[in-house]
A and B are shown apart, each in its own frame.
Chain A
């Protein structure tokens, strides 16, 4: 066995006991398509995170003398109807995408979803029943309808409270920086995405908890927290990684739809949805199609790379599941 492994892939004998995780990552690194997607995603997310540093202009810098310009050297993707640089706006929009996807996925899928899935799968009975029933109710809403209702009803209320708070304390940057928008939308999307993850983890745990190493850990007197965190979690993590990649695309798309409808991110905070809406009418399309096509293409590129990366991750982490 060991000799075979050596002959096949391990020229360096000092690294014999590779973890499953390491091997999966190496399988992934050999997939050209998936790696290309990963690089594109890293570039897009990087330009979002570092938008203030790398964007050539501010997202709201208007120059009415150069409205609706075609792509040029100073404005690689042209300018919009207020003379704002499209490239910079796309970069800042990607920052919105980064914030929304990361926060809602970390809170919804990773923290809430994984821990509730662990609890439901390990303890079973009452905890399992409650968690799964609540999840079924939230997932019974068709598509992103629940998010739509939550954002449309809850956000104005919260804005009202925050405005009162700002008036009372003299702080004026909470609404201006779009923090309320980000928080409400992330949380609403988290409410929408946690159950898929919880169900996945629960299924994995149901299998994993019957293993002898769990029994052994229990026999040695490990605490429940230790069994969950040290023994079960690492063994259920690979499907979680695969589903995160798929989930990121769905969350990014949902945010764009919400902002396009006008109940998501509010201008002037840039978002791909806002950009698609602002430049989406037929007269803009007739005279300056690039204004519509740029943000839409970025969105599709994002969804496309996430979906291909997801396929690649699936092949790498579940090599036998074909």
Chain B
């Protein structure tokens, strides 16, 4: 077990180096000249040459990459091309906070609505409520934000005029409701399905019958015995979905004009802002790889039939 974890952890930096090199090389291969973008209308031949030299863009790509990694290790991800004079670290810090708030709100919606709906469906097993919930979990998982966004906007912003169509005013405002809702809907479906399945599993257990037999009020049976036990697999699975959630949010950020990481990334991709693209890729990859690692480590705890180690290191 310890060897396995050590091997997996040692593999993480190797992955990061390869991923960053691929991104770096692709960035240099791509079209457009960042210095031209940087200068914009103030383009002058001598200024162009000077800045190219200053940024070290004339050096060999391996040299440039080595310099980048050296700086990155010291926490310096360079300076943004499009936002002049602002360090990537400072820019990202702000954006990450906004995206984190949005994703947290979406997760909150997924958890509360999903657990409530799943529990309800399981307790009313066989009724039309249950069937409706099952149908919802099937449809909800395929609900692409491209459909839920226009529908939500139509109903809540245009017809009822309750919520703003776009913008961002922080966590405690009306502008977060729609984006968080559309981002959370597929999660609601997943959590509902999980909760329903695990609750049905728990309901059939002997200790539930015992609790009822000893005369415990139904409310206490549900809260203390059913709910508590059925949530164990749900909560553990939820932790895993955090990483997946974050990557899906860029469409929502673009649609609603929320100045988060997603919007920044797409902006940078179009304006060839390599330092930001690199930093976002590295950040995303690190989170993603670590999340996968945690999932792989936690699964055997949940399901002892899965053995760790084996003959290869799983991605």
- For residue A297, which residues in chain B have a CB less than 8 angstroms away from its CB? 147
Q: Is A178 an interface residue (CB 8 A)?
A: no
Q: Is A160 an interface residue (CB 8 A)?
A: yes
- Decide if A137 touches B18 in the complex (CB within 8 Å): yes
CB-contact partner of B247 in A143, A253, A292, A304, under 8 A: A143
- For residue B244, which residues in chain A have a CB less than 8 angstroms away from its CB? 143
Report the nearest A residue to B246, measured CB to CB.
Answer: A142
- Number of A positions contacting B (CB below 8 A): 47
- Decide if B315 touches A195 in the complex (CB within 8 Å): yes
Q: Is A280 an interface residue (CB 8 A)?
A: yes
Q: Is B150 an interface residue (CB 8 A)?
A: yes
- Decide if A303 touches B144 in the complex (CB within 8 Å): yes
CB-contact partner of A296 in B146, B248, B288, B289, under 8 A: B146
Candidate in B270, B288, B312 with the most chain A CB atoms within 10 angstroms: B312
Interface flags, B3-34, vs A, CB<8A=1, else 0? 00000000100010011001100110111100
Shortest beta-carbon distance from B134 to chain A in Å: 12
Interface residues of B in 287-308 (CB under 8 A from A): 287-289
- Decide if B243 touches A142 in the complex (CB within 8 Å): yes
Given known contacts A285-B158, A289-B150, is B31 in contact with A160 (CB within 8 Å)?
yes
* Among B35-43, B93-101, B198-206, B277-285, the stretch in contact with A: B277-285
| Total A-B Cβ pairs within 8 A | 119
Interface residues on B, range: 35 or more
- Decide if A285 touches B142 in the complex (CB within 8 Å): no
CB-contact partner of A149 in B144, B151, B248, B281, under 8 A: B281
CB-contact partner of A137 in B22, B141, B147, under 8 A: B22
- Decide if A149 touches B23 in the complex (CB within 8 Å): yes
CA distance A166 to B205 in the complex (A): 71
Shortest beta-carbon distance from A120 to chain B in Å: 9
Interface flags, B214-239, vs A, CB<8A=1, else 0? 00000000000000000000000000
Q: Is B138 an interface residue (CB 8 A)?
A: yes
Report the nearest B residue to A276, measured CB to CB.
Answer: B146
Report the nearest A residue to B280, measured CB to CB.
Answer: A145
CA distance A304 to B144 in the complex (A): 10
* Among A89-97, A150-158, A227-235, the stretch in contact with B: A150-158
- Decide if A307 touches B15 in the complex (CB within 8 Å): no
- For residue A64, which residues in chain B have a CB less than 8 angstroms away from its CB? none
- Decide if B248 touches A143 in the complex (CB within 8 Å): yes
CA distance A293 to B254 in the complex (A): 18
A residues neighboring B (CB under 8 Å)? 128-129, 132, 135-137, 139-143, 145, 148-150, 152-154, 156-157, 160, 195, 199, 249, 253, 256-257, 260-261, 263, 276, 280, 282, 285-286, 289, 292-293, 295-297, 299-300, 303-304, 307-308
B residues neighboring A (CB under 8 Å)? 11, 15, 18-19, 22-23, 26-27, 29-32, 138-139, 141-144, 146-147, 150-151, 153-154, 158, 165-166, 243-244, 246-248, 251, 254-255, 266, 269-270, 277, 281, 284-285, 287-289, 312-313, 315
Report, nearest first, the 7 A-B pairs whose CB atoms are least far apart.
A153-B30, A143-B247, A156-B31, A142-B284, A304-B142, A136-B315, A296-B147
25 residue pairs A–B, Cβ–Cβ below 8 Å: A129-B312, A137-B18, A140-B15, A141-B281, A141-B288, A142-B246, A142-B284, A142-B287, A143-B248, A149-B277, A153-B30, A157-B31, A253-B144, A256-B144, A263-B269, A282-B153, A282-B165, A285-B150, A285-B154, A293-B150, A299-B144, A300-B144, A303-B144, A304-B142, A307-B141
